[in-house]
Structure 1
Amino acid sequence: MRKNIIANLIGKFFGILSNFLFIPLYIHFLGFEKYSIISFSLVIAGIMVILDAGLTATLSREFARTDIPREEKQRIFKTLESVYLIVIFICISTVFFLSSLIAEQWLNLKEYNLDQASFFFKIISFDIGFQLLFRFYMGGLLGLENQVKANVYQVGWGMVRNGFVVIAIMFSPTLETFFLWQTLSTVIFAILIKLSLEKTLKGRYSLALSIKIEKVVFKRVWGFAGGMLLIALVAALNTQMDKIAISKLLSLESLGYYTLAISLSQGILVLVNPIATAILPRFTAQYSADKQKEASSLFKKVSVYVAILIFSIMANLTFFGEKIVWIWTGDIKLAEHISEFIPIVAMAYAMLSLQVIPYYIAIANGYTKLNNLLGIISLIVTLPGYWLVTKYYGAIGAAGVFCGVQIFSTIVYLYFIDKKFIKSKTISRVYIKQIILPLVITLSIAFVFSLVHIFEEYGRIIVLVWIGISTLSTLIVGTLILVPIKELKGDLNFKSHHTLVNN
């Protein structure tokens, strides 16, 4: 499991690194309005995730189960892949044929006319469809605990798609070049990872694509997939409606500033996801084997470490947000525009990240009811809320609604997941050890470091080193305070022993 966590961390770390390295280059070579159109394309991709219909999560879960033979897994894969090919066709067709309507209704353009924007979305439609297909096959590899291999493909795809495109736009700084490169890269890697999954599952390479849906198989997995579909629908609306409201009511530049703050804050979620992804097969195996005590013990240990990590990053984003954006982009004016959003958005993503491990406990048990219930309740607030606050308070109002919903959802979600699956003796322990203490400790330490004024004239490297020291300090002190010494020594001794054995 440690190897899988490390592999996932490397894969997700590259995602964070990609943001820091490539987004400023996109802005530099293309200009901010063109980057804002790229930001809107990400909103469309986020909405189209709904069409995944929970099939990727279903495939990963079925592959991770220990009570299903390999032959049955092959039948499940063929059925789900067939359904997914239909999904991809619907996804591409929807964006392609609605491209003109999307450009006309949702973009306030200055540099481009509607026909040009429509053409961009036609290209994007294929990129979004094959992104979904790539992640579907990747979900299969993760479920089979081939997480090192899955992350090799993810890093390779990210490098070619998001990194090498910089070379292309250096010579041809147009959105046509940008989107065509990204689409071609995604298609190629979707083919490569398909071949790899076929080899892992069946022992041979195959690119055969055919529609064969076994009703018996589909009926058996549909209960879980249907619940995941509703989760995806609600999540897409909850996470994209703020950006949709901003793009409709405000300028594209406002959307660009807001999405840059989100790109930075999403680093919190990106750091937690690889840990959760590596642990999901273990949770699924333990619960399918009726080892609930072992699963609860693993959850309690991991959740404390994850909480320390989450709030350490959030605290430093809160107090050093403007300097981090300046280090990132080299543009102090851009940093000033974005910095007002960062404390609110970072808190929102910290709370959202706290839900990840409990969510994977629920998924391991095939339980989706709570996610759907909370999601629907939150929509009652967000659907009118985003439009009203964006109209009167601008993008900062949208950020406030997003943060408030995540705080409420996390508090409720932790309570019910613990009550149903973990069964802690006191729920107050969950709130104290996972929210209150790590939040207070990390904010206090980061605040002390922020009192030392490291000015821009010292240079970006010096300022970055100081922020790094602050972040490391919050991690170390938080761990020493919140993790019992006996438990910490046990983890360290296990790691040392594991290393010696492997050597």
Structure 2
Amino acid sequence: MSLKRNILASYATQIYVTLIGILILPMYLKYMGAEAYGLVGFFTMLQAWFNLLDLGLTPTVARETARFRGGALDALSYRRLLRALQVIFLAIAIFGAVLMFGFSGLIANRWLNAQTLPLAEIQLCLQLMAGGVALRWMSGFYRGCISGSERLVWLGGFNAFVATLRFVGVLPVLILIGPSPTIFFSYQLLVALIELFGLVAKSQSLFPAIQPDQIIGWSIRSLFIPIRSVLQFSLTIAFTTSAWVLVTQTDKLVLSKFLPLVEYGYFTLAVLAASGVTMVGGPISSALMPRMARLQAEGDAAGLLHLYRKATQIVAVIAIPASLVLAFFAEQVLWVWTGDAIAAAQAAPVLRLYALGNGFLAIAAFPYYLQFAKGDLVLHVRANVMYILLLLPTLIWATWVHGAKGAGYTWLILNALYFFVVPLLVHRRFHKGLHRLWLGKDLLPIFFACSLSAWMLSFFSFSSHSRFFEFLQLISLGLGTFIFGVIAIFLARTARKIIAKKMIDRVKAV
């Protein structure tokens, strides 16, 4: 398959799935109510926490499939590895589903704080969630087989189809049958089943045939030996995945205990809106990391640093305006998005904090790309361990005392702290003098220009009774802040050239 087609298909699918999820979710709030929407947020959080059980297996499936296609594995060894991984995936799926099914009553009674939904209905929803999460977990195995086979065009189309079923297809069901959470999660379970069947069928068609006299085997020995060779890689990936889940999902888990479901629904809405800031860096990082690794391998240190700094500016000039617009105009953004004035007022304070925190996070990711290119992730691992050790107790205390706002302040402060400390250490380790250029010349002009423009625009009244006109006004604000950031880049470059020329002229005059 063409690499270009695969990349385009992946980007198109990612954009479509992300947009459809963001645009449709407020409809759930409208038809199901805030408390039931809180259950939807809890369901999303559960799927993320289930990734802790992944142990790096999903990336391993894709990697070993790619290695087989490259000739590093023969068909029998590959099929034996697939069977061993299938058994592990199935065992984890059953374990997770049974565990959640068994504790559904306890979670409904002791963990979630429902006010209007009957406990029996919540327990049934949790049991349906258990089945849906387990089925989607199994789908990850077959998705890894397909992506490792580089059938990304087919996979992108299938993912878009499933996302349409999951997000859009449920709306007619809620309208025609009833807007109860039980119906919603029953439908999601059905979609997860359809997704699994589709991926299994495609994967089976890609599995290589083996000779009739060759036996894959079901013995413990035949299942364990193939896993042993990929264990180190899986555990390395597992740490990164686990750290990311702990960093991004702990607040949601803690708040699901401390907040009433209605408030948890508003919190979920705010976090989802703020996630738009971090999405800016996704496409950039996918293209940036392999290119930086190649430049490092070629010994082109100057090219590596040039690309690193330019990419930082590209993300900054998009992420900083996005986070500032969401922070300064949080309530207007939420009202335009949901059409619900109450939800907008409730979620706006949390959105402001998470948007600013995500702005720091989007830019603080760049030192990781530099470490990845250098092949040295020691600082990244240590920084994440320290971050988690700070996050967990601080978040629990702040949430207990201040609720969702406490979680927002924790997210903002810790991400700001990470931004000011970790890049400094990384830059000092690999390129002395880089941090002054990266922070002072590449980022600060953009930050000051965008902050000043957003602050000035916040004094103007943009009130409107039309969501469409309010949307146009917000787009204008975002574009204006973005343009200020771009201008700041060019002005900073021009100013540096003028100052440098004057200094050279003075030296010559002496």
TM-score between both structures, scaled by the size of structure 2: 0.81
CA distance, structure 1, for counterparts of residue 203 and residue 153 of structure 2: 13
Out of 454, 465, 470, the residue aligned to residue 463 of structure 1 is 470
Out of 156, 163, 166, the residue aligned to residue 158 of structure 1 is 163
CA distance, structure 1, for counterparts of residue 422 and residue 148 of structure 2: 25
* Per-residue deviation, 1:155: 2.0
* Per-residue deviation, 1:55: 2.1
Deviates more, 1:460-469 or 1:105-114: 105-114
Compared CA separation, residues 254 and 121, structure 1 to 2 (3 A): same
Does 1:177 find its partner at 2:183?
yes
CA distance, structure 1, for counterparts of residue 357 and residue 123 of structure 2: 33
Compared CA separation, residues 400 and 102, structure 1 to 2 (3 A): same
Aligned partner of 1:445 in structure 2 is 453
Does 1:232 find its partner at 2:241?
yes
Q: Is the 8 A contact 2:9 2:153 kept in 1?
A: yes
Aligned partner of 1:44 in structure 2 is 46
CA distance, structure 1, for counterparts of residue 365 and residue 204 of structure 2: 29
* Per-residue deviation, 1:411: 3.8
* Per-residue deviation, 1:456: 2.1
Aligned partner of 2:115 in structure 1 is 110
Compared CA separation, residues 469 and 104, structure 1 to 2 (3 A): same
Compared CA separation, residues 427 and 191, structure 1 to 2 (3 A): farther
Deviates more, 1:131-140 or 1:305-314: 131-140
Q: Percent identity?
A: 22
Out of 321, 324, 327, the residue aligned to residue 315 of structure 1 is 324
Q: How many residues align?
A: 479
Aligned partner of 1:89 in structure 2 is 94
CA distance, structure 2, for counterparts of residue 477 and residue 386 of structure 1: 35
* Per-residue deviation, 1:264: 0.3
Alignment of 1:113-152 (within 5 A): 113-139=118-144, 141-142=146-147, 146-152=151-157
Compared CA separation, residues 78 and 304, structure 1 to 2 (3 A): farther
Structure 2: which amino acid aligns with 1:354?
I
* Per-residue deviation, 1:60: 4.5
Structure 1: which amino acid aligns with 2:173?
A
Q: Is the 8 A contact 2:34 2:261 kept in 1?
A: no
CA distance, structure 2, for counterparts of residue 484 and residue 29 of structure 1: 50
CA distance, structure 2, for counterparts of residue 2 and residue 119 of structure 1: 45
CA distance, structure 2, for counterparts of residue 195 and residue 134 of structure 1: 11
* Per-residue deviation, 1:50: 0.5
Aligned partner of 1:352 in structure 2 is 361
RMSD: 3.6
Q: Is the 8 A contact 2:165 2:191 kept in 1?
A: yes
Compared CA separation, residues 382 and 149, structure 1 to 2 (3 A): same
Alignment of 1:392-471 (within 5 A): 392-418=401-427, 423=431, 425-432=433-440, 435-457=443-465, 459-471=466-478
Question: Mind listing any 5+ residue stretches in structure 2 that lack a counterpart?
Answer: 211-215, 494-510
Q: Is the 8 A contact 2:131 2:189 kept in 1?
A: yes
* Per-residue deviation, 1:131: 2.5
What is the CA deviation profile of residues 303-328 of structure 1, one whole-angstrom value per residue up to 9, with x for unaligned ones? 33222222121121112211110001
Compared CA separation, residues 64 and 456, structure 1 to 2 (3 A): farther
Q: Is the 8 A contact 2:10 2:156 kept in 1?
A: yes
* Per-residue deviation, 1:168: 0.7
What is the CA deviation profile of residues 21-56 of structure 1, one whole-angstrom value per residue up to 9, with x for unaligned ones? 322211111111111122122222222121111223
CA distance, structure 1, for counterparts of residue 183 and residue 316 of structure 2: 41
Q: Is the 8 A contact 2:67 2:73 kept in 1?
A: no
Structure 2: which amino acid aligns with 1:162?
F
* Per-residue deviation, 1:157: 1.8
Aligned partner of 1:11 in structure 2 is 13
Alignment of 1:186-201 (within 5 A): 186-197=192-203, 199=205
Structure 2: which amino acid aligns with 1:404?
I
Out of 246, 254, 257, the residue aligned to residue 245 of structure 1 is 254
Question: Mind listing any 5+ residue stretches in structure 1 that lack a counterpart?
Answer: 487-503
Structure 2: which amino acid aligns with 1:39?
G
Compared CA separation, residues 150 and 92, structure 1 to 2 (3 A): same
* Per-residue deviation, 1:77: 5.2
Structure 2: which amino acid aligns with 1:120?
C
Compared CA separation, residues 249 and 350, structure 1 to 2 (3 A): same
* Per-residue deviation, 1:429: 2.4
Q: Is the 8 A contact 2:69 2:149 kept in 1?
A: no
Alignment of 1:476-495 (within 5 A): 476-479=483-486, 481-482=488-489
* Per-residue deviation, 1:238: 2.9
* Per-residue deviation, 1:277: 3.6
Deviates more, 1:351-360 or 1:112-121: 351-360
CA distance, structure 1, for counterparts of residue 29 and residue 262 of structure 2: 12
Structure 2: which amino acid aligns with 1:429?
L
Compared CA separation, residues 381 and 336, structure 1 to 2 (3 A): same
Aligned partner of 1:55 in structure 2 is 57
Compared CA separation, residues 409 and 15, structure 1 to 2 (3 A): farther
Q: Secondary structure at the match of 2:329?
A: helix
CA distance, structure 2, for counterparts of residue 127 and residue 402 of structure 1: 30
CA distance, structure 2, for counterparts of residue 160 and residue 326 of structure 1: 26
CA distance, structure 1, for counterparts of residue 356 and residue 259 of structure 2: 24
Structure 1: which amino acid aligns with 2:25?
I
* Per-residue deviation, 1:101: 2.0
Q: Is the 8 A contact 1:273 1:356 kept in 2?
A: no
Q: Is the 8 A contact 1:9 1:274 kept in 2?
A: yes
Q: Is the 8 A contact 1:134 1:193 kept in 2?
A: yes
Compared CA separation, residues 427 and 357, structure 1 to 2 (3 A): closer
Structure 2: which amino acid aligns with 1:184?
L
What is the CA deviation profile of residues 242-292 of structure 1, one whole-angstrom value per residue up to 9, with x for unaligned ones? 2233222232222112111101011122332244345556667777x6677
Larger Rg, first or second structure (1 or 2): 2
Q: Secondary structure at the match of 2:280?
A: helix
Out of 330, 333, 340, the residue aligned to residue 342 of structure 2 is 333
Does 1:98 find its partner at 2:103?
yes
Alignment of 1:189-338 (within 5 A): 189-197=195-203, 199=205, 202=208, 215=224, 217-279=226-288, 293=301, 298-338=307-347
Structure 2: which amino acid aligns with 1:445?
S
Aligned partner of 1:499 in structure 2 is none
CA distance, structure 1, for counterparts of residue 450 and residue 218 of structure 2: 52
